[in-house]
Chains A and B, each alone.
Chain A
Amino acid sequence: MKRYSVFAIAREALRYHMGWERAWASPEPKASYDAIIVGAGGHGLATAYYLGKNHGITNVAVIEKGWLGGGNTGRNTTIIRSNYLQDPSAAIYEKARSLYETLSQDLNYNVMFSPRGLLMLAQTHHEVRGYLRTVHANTLQGVQTEWISPQRVKEIVPIMNIDGPRYPVLGALYQARGGTARHDAVAWGYARACSAMGMDIIQNCEVKGVRSENGRVTGVDTTKGFIGTKKLGMVVAGHSGQLAEMAGFRLPIEAVALQALVSEPIKPCMDVVVMANTVHGYMSQSDKGEMVIGGGTDGFNNYTQRGSFHHIEETLRALVETFPMISRLKMLRQWGGIVDMTGDRSPLISKTPLGNCFINCGWGTGGFKAIPGSGWAMAELMAKGEPGPLAAEFNMWRFKEGQFIDESVAAGVAH
């Protein structure tokens, strides 16, 4: 792999940019690998990357049904934050956020991490109490957040109406080092680094079955034939349940659609991320000037990547009250993704009933922010066969034992 640098740009500028090589190879699958990861989204590629970087396992294939980063990695609103209430969540999301800080340097690929600051608005008194509690919890967890007044919110986001009739802004939970990153670049950067380590990224290769003997996975049947493996990692978000069914176990997961949309590009008007959880709307401005808007999930099982129109209407209605100036913006694009929701709205990074099969799923509406931390924890789990401190509490047996990581009650997330 040739390194990207200012010298590379200068060198290529002198030869009409004819020397750039492909960022990653597209090999045919080998007969078997030390580890196969199903799913070449952010989480799958990050898992492969840290398997190689932290644990020296590089005889790895990442298998992808569609194209690399074409699932939820390419469909989210790119928000990065770690202001969670529960300790295990704060630990893994803060690990991810801190890895994002230096990810461009680590990968030699510009992921455009922009720690522009993130506001979570409190628009009811219940939320005020909830976020004050979160600030205190974050202090103990070593996550830097603060509670700020409505006046400070107005200073940071002048386009916001803080005196709305239905949902006035009563303050906000502020994470100054939260922000956004370029979502595609995160997948591409990890893919390039994995390819450079000699791993095979195999796109357009759908897993059709999981073969196992005596409680251990021996390989996967794919549209490109059987591929053997010593370890299997399932990292596929929306279709986790389908894949688990092939392996013969069931997950506490339901698949629903989550939508996002972007407006026409306008001049810079908001340099932070704003989330309003009571009304299910969040918004940031992309580098191109589009307002990037996300909302709540649909309320029914769905695998179609199409959502219900009235959810977009509800999100925009709420945001127009808080940001009156967006009322005449035209929306350019709208899309949906299938998110895998667990009962406690926290992910699974877990061993499974099959000894050498591991699963990483259930990130629900908030997976993008977690990619580096999730990959780090999943790689440790796959390499050692036992979870490290980041992953331990995200096991799939917590539902039987009642050891929930209850973010649906903590209301740190919008859903």
Chain B
Amino acid sequence: MLILECPYCGVKAEETELAPGYEAHLKRFGPGSSPEEFEDYMFARKNPKGVHFERWRHAYGCGKWFLAARCTATLEVFGTYPAQTSEPPADIIAKIQARRPDWQPDWKGTK
């Protein structure tokens, strides 16, 4: 069972309390952007087999959106952090690198 700690209210919420929101740190493209940029924003996902940054909402709790770092190959959770950021905080990166020495940070951009 997937358990994520809500960084806002501190509750260790199990999956039924949460609503998934898929990939985090997407850069938005709207009117005026090229078709390629808009396609990437809408549909191209990293979908990694390994470290994944993703959005979750504490739907049946405080109701807030937060972000999580999780491994899609093992379901290991590295940590959660508030959504008001454009990249993962240093302590989350350190935790991931401690567990996955070969991992290269890859959250920037949509490519």
Q: Which residues of A contact B (CB under 8 A)?
A: 239, 241-242, 250-255, 299-304, 306, 308-310, 342-343, 399-401
Among B36, B47, B54, B75, point to the contact of A241 (Cβ < 8 A).
B47
Chain A positions within 8 Å of B20 at CB level: 299-300
**Interface status of B97 (Cβ within 8 A of chain A):** no
A51 CB to nearest B CB, Å:
28
Among B22, B39, B45, point to the contact of A400 (Cβ < 8 A).
B39
**Interface status of B49 (Cβ within 8 A of chain A):** yes
A148 CB to nearest B CB, Å:
36
User: Are A239 and B49 CB-contacts (below 8 A) given A299-B20, A302-B75, A303-B73?
Assistant: yes
Q: Are the C-beta atoms of B75 and A304 separated by less than 8 Å? A: yes
**Interface status of B52 (Cβ within 8 A of chain A):** yes
User: Are A309 and B1 CB-contacts (below 8 A) given A300-B54, A301-B54?
Assistant: yes
Q: Are the C-beta atoms of A253 and B73 separated by less than 8 Å? A: no
B66 CB to nearest A CB, Å:
14
User: Are A302 and B72 CB-contacts (below 8 A) given A308-B2, A400-B35, A400-B39?
Assistant: yes
B45 CB to nearest A CB, Å:
5
User: Are A254 and B47 CB-contacts (below 8 A) given A301-B54, A301-B72, A304-B73?
Assistant: yes
Q: List 19 A-B contacts (CB under 8 A).
A: A250-B44, A250-B111, A252-B44, A253-B45, A255-B49, A300-B2, A300-B20, A301-B22, A301-B23, A301-B47, A301-B48, A301-B54, A301-B72, A302-B75, A304-B72, A304-B74, A343-B42, A399-B42, A401-B35
**Interface status of B16 (Cβ within 8 A of chain A):** yes
Chain B positions within 8 Å of A300 at CB level: 2, 20, 22, 54, 70
User: Are A308 and B1 CB-contacts (below 8 A) given A301-B54, A303-B49?
Assistant: yes
> Assuming A342-B43, A399-B39, what are 11 further A-B pairs, CB within 8 angstroms?
A239-B49, A241-B47, A242-B49, A252-B43, A253-B45, A301-B54, A304-B73, A306-B75, A308-B1, A400-B36, A401-B35
User: Are A308 and B15 CB-contacts (below 8 A) given A299-B20, A300-B20?
Assistant: yes
Q: How far is the CA of A302 from the CA of B44 in the complex (A)?
A: 17
**Interface status of B19 (Cβ within 8 A of chain A):** yes
Among B22, B35, B75, point to the contact of A254 (Cβ < 8 A).
B22
Chain B 90-106 against A: per-residue CB contact (8 Å), 1 yes, 0 no?
00000000000000000
A157 CB to nearest B CB, Å:
31
Q: How far is the CA of A304 from the CA of B49 in the complex (A)?
A: 9
Chain B positions within 8 Å of A301 at CB level: 22-23, 47-48, 52, 54, 72
A32 CB to nearest B CB, Å:
29
Q: How far is the CA of A343 from the CA of B111 in the complex (A)?
A: 17
Chain B positions within 8 Å of A309 at CB level: 1
* CB nearest to B38 among chain A residues: A400
Chain B positions within 8 Å of A400 at CB level: 35-36, 39
A166 CB to nearest B CB, Å:
19
Q: How far is the CA of A300 from the CA of B67 in the complex (A)?
A: 13
Chain B positions within 8 Å of A343 at CB level: 42-43
User: Which B1-32 residues sit within 8 Å CB-CB of chain A?
Assistant: 1-2, 15-16, 19-20, 22-23
* CB nearest to B45 among chain A residues: A254
A400 CB to nearest B CB, Å:
4
A65 CB to nearest B CB, Å:
13
Q: Report, nearest first, the 9 A-B pairs whose CB atoms are least far apart.
A: A299-B20, A252-B43, A400-B39, A343-B43, A241-B47, A399-B43, A300-B20, A301-B72, A303-B49
Q: How far is the CA of A96 from the CA of B91 in the complex (A)?
A: 52
Chain A positions within 8 Å of B23 at CB level: 301
Chain A positions within 8 Å of B1 at CB level: 308-309
Q: How far is the CA of A150 from the CA of B1 in the complex (A)?
A: 38
